[in-house]
Structure 1
Amino acid sequence: MSTTLTQQKLLDRSDISFSMKFGYLGLGMGGCSIAAECANIKTNVKNGNYPYNGLLINTNNMDFEKINIKNPNIEKLPIGSGKGAGRDIEVGENAFLDHQNDVISAVKRQFMDRDFIWIVAGLGGGTGTGSVIEAIKLLHKNGYQRKFGLILTLPRNKEGATVISNALERLQKISQAMKGLGSIILVDNQKLYDKYIKQNPNASLSEYLEFSNQFISDTLHELNVVTASFKPYGDSHFDSSEFENLIKTPGVLSLSKFSIEERKIDLENESSYLPPLEESIESGILSDGYKLKNAQRAATSVIANKYTAERIFTLGFTDRIENIVDDKAPLAGEKPIATYVDEKAKGVHFYTVFAGLNLPTRVNELVKENERLMELQEKETEEDDVFASLQTFTRKKRIDNESDDLDSLLSTSNSSKSQDTDKKNSKDEIHNPIDDL
């Protein structure tokens, strides 16, 4: 996650262009925070200081106060009671439905000239998780078919059973409708958190959240810039129209980026750059655990300054990268390897995207964690029932002075256990989103 070699501070440059005009529709606290960070991006481009728009929707008015809004093209829309949804999906969903006319008006006002809209939600809470399905329906029914995708965060393991269960419930429905949506970007909070805390053990939670939001926004902005700003080296090109087709591909997007100093690339020694490039593709930057062989589209962009480009952008260099991408995504209908010259580039920068993927193995891990927590809760409930029944047995012995059979005294516990087992079996029948992969 080091940014030491990022391209000469893209935000400070005035000589860049954008492939697409993005709009960000934030839902709930997590979604609004990410959407605001993405829309807050400011550049030095003439007539393009704030290239992105945002609409933030939440049921908790106090949450809005926590968000630093710099872009005048960001609008806040309170819905519901103003006190939040209390991690209740139905409360979030109903609040959105109750205000859907206001939402439609705000969407048309904010996104009338946008090329593509990202619905952004943190899965696990009440407002974002509860309203994301209705937001999808609203955009689809109001002229934005094939013009929107999703940015969804996956919860960490320790966020609790309610959070994980909420996230899986919505992912289940979304996975069933993926073929009709644009791309989905999944942000694995466990992945980002683990890496961040390893590098910054003394940081605060607010510092982590700030880092995470900025990391997501910078990643999307860089991809949107590199496909439109730099001169192609040779005939191969991955242009703005191809980038648009890629992010409109139904399924999940896997994003990766890798930077290396020019002097470290030795064309006679493939191990100087190919293994770390391949590792970056497998590990991704926002989430990992994808079956890349299922990708419908793929693209790799490589950027270097003119001197470095003339040295390394040989036929053999691009052929080796092409072999890696082809091996990982043999069924992809399009997989260009594009090389670019950026006079201000320091280092060599690789951006690779795979589109049209199924859900990653991280979702399966969350399903198993949810099952573990359910079993733990079931066990605790059973122990509580046994303790309560045993207390009843003790009192009855003292009052009636009878030698009742312990099994009969525990019949209430057995009954409860049976009922609880029925509940567990009922929960087990909930469709596992991994079954559709």
Structure 2
Amino acid sequence: MTTTITQQNLLERDDLHFSLKFGYLGLGMGGCSIAAECANVKTNVKNGHFPYNGLLINTNNMDFEKINIINPNIEKLQIGNGKGAGRDLEAGEKAFTEEKEKVTGAIKKQFMDRDFIWIVAGLGGGTGTGSVIEAIKLLHSNGFKKRFGLILTLPRNKEGSTVISNALERLQRISKAMAGLGSIILVDNQKLYDKFIKENPNSTLADYLTYSNNFVSATLHELNVVTASFKPFGDSHFDSSEFENLLKTPGVLSLSKYSVKDSKIDLGNESSYVPEFKDSINNGILSDGYKLDNATRAAASVISNKPTAQRVFTLGFTDKIETIVDEIAPLAGEKPIATYVDEKARGVHFYTVFAGLNLPTRVNELVVENNRLTELQDNKDDEDDVLASLQTFKRKKKQVDSVDDLDSLLSGNSNTIDDFESESKKKQEDNYDPIEDM
């Protein structure tokens, strides 16, 4: 795929606008790293050099030293004893709740003028994973209802049973309250990691973390710019208010982008762009494995320079894009298709967003992996039980005729297996608030 509009040249331009003023609430080491990267976006736009701001909350004071902060509108807040939560959900949650008053004050001060807040947490650890539920409740009850969403990272398979089970426990609770939340963006670390290591096999884990954080930041910033900066070609438009409504849609959000050289698109040959456009939608940018036909909202934006727009953006072309989106998301109540002219664009760039989705198949894969690791642990415990039984074994006294009669070997065995179970329930009452029941 050829990407010709890059994060760098967008940041260097001074002729762009932003749809929404984002605020990023980072929780824990992973969440703070991503939130800082998103809030660190610096542009050449007059009176908009730092369009976003952030609040970073962590229990480990040393973790703050690992984060490069260039935006003066980013604040740090240490909670707990400053030594971290040690991947303990209860410890992370307790640290947050015990200092809720201080956290509430910091959030109101930092985000009072923001249009939309992103709660950012890496699922699997102690602080971010442990405090995310309380952070949701806090924003919901302090003036930010319907004005916030979540950015959550899914762990890789090799991160261990504690990390995976922590992530699944919180996802289970969040899934029950999705109707009361804005959009949830899932960042599949396994997906991004596999892509990165394939292209950069000699890089370090630190290189990957920098790459993934930049990837999330660039994706959100680019979408926020696209919806507000370019002149519509024709009557159709996906404007900032529609973008905001889409972000406020309950459920998971799937984002995709496809870029292609101007000369490659041949309107007489749909194979020059249609298959790759469809693949970009199904593969997503940050995660995949969604049932896109469940989307309640969808949108597609296509951008090129004026000469290319005059050649490509015909009625037949826009009808084809509209047909593809309609086939993928037939139940979406809104699905605008917009074409734009950017005089400085090189190439043609397709952006699609599908909102109101359920959790992806990747979550089920994590459940399967958790069960596998649990079974391995249970088998190990069985072996340990055999050794433990020897410590409690008492031999019956009997008449011994010779020393040879003492030669016997005894062992014991026990078997205990705890099954991983998950339950979900539906609330039917009209006035039911899922967040208050988290």
TM-score by length of 2: 0.92
Give deviations 1:46-83, integer Å, cap 9, x for gaps.
Answer: 10000001000000000000000000000000000100
CA RMSD of aligned residues (A): 2.1
Output the amino acid matched with 2:304.
A
Give 2:434's aligned residue.
none
Give 1:339's aligned residue.
339
1:300, 1:351 within 8 Å by CA — same for their partners in 2?
Answer: yes
2:14, 2:46 within 8 Å by CA — same for their partners in 1?
Answer: yes
Secondary structure of 2:134's aligned partner: helix
Alignment of 1:231-380 (within 5 A): 231-380=231-380
Alignment of 1:111-260 (within 5 A): 111-260=111-260
1:8, 1:345 within 8 Å by CA — same for their partners in 2?
Answer: no
Give deviations 1:390-415, integer Å, cap 9, x for gaps.
Answer: 6877x9499996799989x52xx33x
Deviation of the 1:6 alpha carbon: 2.9
Q: 1:356 to 1:403 in 2, by over 3 A?
A: farther
Paired with 2:228 and 2:30, the residues of 1 have a C-alpha distance of: 30
Give 2:383's aligned residue.
383
Paired with 1:30 and 1:136, the residues of 2 have a C-alpha distance of: 17
Paired with 1:322 and 1:223, the residues of 2 have a C-alpha distance of: 19
Deviation of the 1:241 alpha carbon: 0.3
Unaligned runs of 5+ in 1: none
Give 2:423's aligned residue.
431
Does the alignment pair 1:73 with 2:65? Answer: no
Paired with 1:380 and 1:361, the residues of 2 have a C-alpha distance of: 29
Secondary structure of 2:194's aligned partner: helix
Give deviations 1:98-118, integer Å, cap 9, x for gaps.
Answer: 111111111111101000000
Deviation of the 1:358 alpha carbon: 0.2
Deviation of the 1:386 alpha carbon: 2.2
Output the amino acid matched with 1:431.
E
Paired with 1:400 and 1:230, the residues of 2 have a C-alpha distance of: 97
2:27, 2:56 within 8 Å by CA — same for their partners in 1?
Answer: yes
Paired with 2:172 and 2:56, the residues of 1 have a C-alpha distance of: 25
Deviation of the 1:387 alpha carbon: 3.9
Give 1:27's aligned residue.
27
Q: Which moved more, 1:384-393 or 1:186-195?
A: 384-393
Secondary structure of 1:81's aligned partner: coil
Q: 1:361 to 1:194 in 2, by over 3 A?
A: same
Paired with 2:424 and 2:380, the residues of 1 have a C-alpha distance of: 24
Paired with 1:123 and 1:49, the residues of 2 have a C-alpha distance of: 31
Give 2:44's aligned residue.
44
2:16, 2:225 within 8 Å by CA — same for their partners in 1?
Answer: yes
Deviation of the 1:383 alpha carbon: 1.6
1:256, 1:281 within 8 Å by CA — same for their partners in 2?
Answer: yes
Secondary structure of 1:145's aligned partner: coil
Secondary structure of 1:350's aligned partner: strand
Paired with 2:186 and 2:90, the residues of 1 have a C-alpha distance of: 23
Paired with 2:108 and 2:399, the residues of 1 have a C-alpha distance of: 75
Paired with 1:192 and 1:381, the residues of 2 have a C-alpha distance of: 34
Paired with 2:424 and 2:136, the residues of 1 have a C-alpha distance of: 21
Q: 1:432 to 1:372 in 2, by over 3 A?
A: farther
Alignment of 1:76-115 (within 5 A): 76-115=76-115
Output the amino acid matched with 1:264.
K
Deviation of the 1:93 alpha carbon: 0.2
Output the amino acid matched with 1:333.
G
1:24, 1:120 within 8 Å by CA — same for their partners in 2?
Answer: yes
Deviation of the 1:385 alpha carbon: 1.6
Q: 1:348 to 1:392 in 2, by over 3 A?
A: same
Between the two proteins, what is the percent identity of the paired residues? 75
More helix by share: 1
Give 2:432's aligned residue.
none
Paired with 1:111 and 1:92, the residues of 2 have a C-alpha distance of: 23
Deviation of the 1:384 alpha carbon: 2.0
Paired with 1:403 and 1:331, the residues of 2 have a C-alpha distance of: 78
1:7, 1:346 within 8 Å by CA — same for their partners in 2?
Answer: no
1:26, 1:121 within 8 Å by CA — same for their partners in 2?
Answer: yes
Q: 1:79 to 1:399 in 2, by over 3 A?
A: farther
1:93, 1:127 within 8 Å by CA — same for their partners in 2?
Answer: yes
Paired with 1:11 and 1:249, the residues of 2 have a C-alpha distance of: 28
Paired with 2:391 and 2:179, the residues of 1 have a C-alpha distance of: 56
Paired with 1:255 and 1:21, the residues of 2 have a C-alpha distance of: 19
Does the alignment pair 1:11 with 2:11? Answer: yes
Paired with 2:375 and 2:399, the residues of 1 have a C-alpha distance of: 37
1:8, 1:344 within 8 Å by CA — same for their partners in 2?
Answer: no
Deviation of the 1:389 alpha carbon: 3.5
Figure out how many residues of one structure are paired with residues of the other and give that number: 421
2:290, 2:359 within 8 Å by CA — same for their partners in 1?
Answer: yes
Output the amino acid matched with 2:129.
T
TM-score by length of 1: 0.93
Unaligned runs of 5+ in 2: 426-438
Secondary structure of 1:94's aligned partner: helix
Paired with 2:2 and 2:318, the residues of 1 have a C-alpha distance of: 25
Deviation of the 1:388 alpha carbon: 4.1
Output the amino acid matched with 1:110.
Q
Paired with 1:39 and 1:64, the residues of 2 have a C-alpha distance of: 15
Paired with 1:97 and 1:30, the residues of 2 have a C-alpha distance of: 20
Paired with 1:209 and 1:299, the residues of 2 have a C-alpha distance of: 30
Give 2:433's aligned residue.
none
Output the amino acid matched with 1:159.
E
Q: 1:392 to 1:107 in 2, by over 3 A?
A: closer
4+ aligned runs moved over 2 Å, structure 1: 1-8, 386-393, 395-407, 428-433
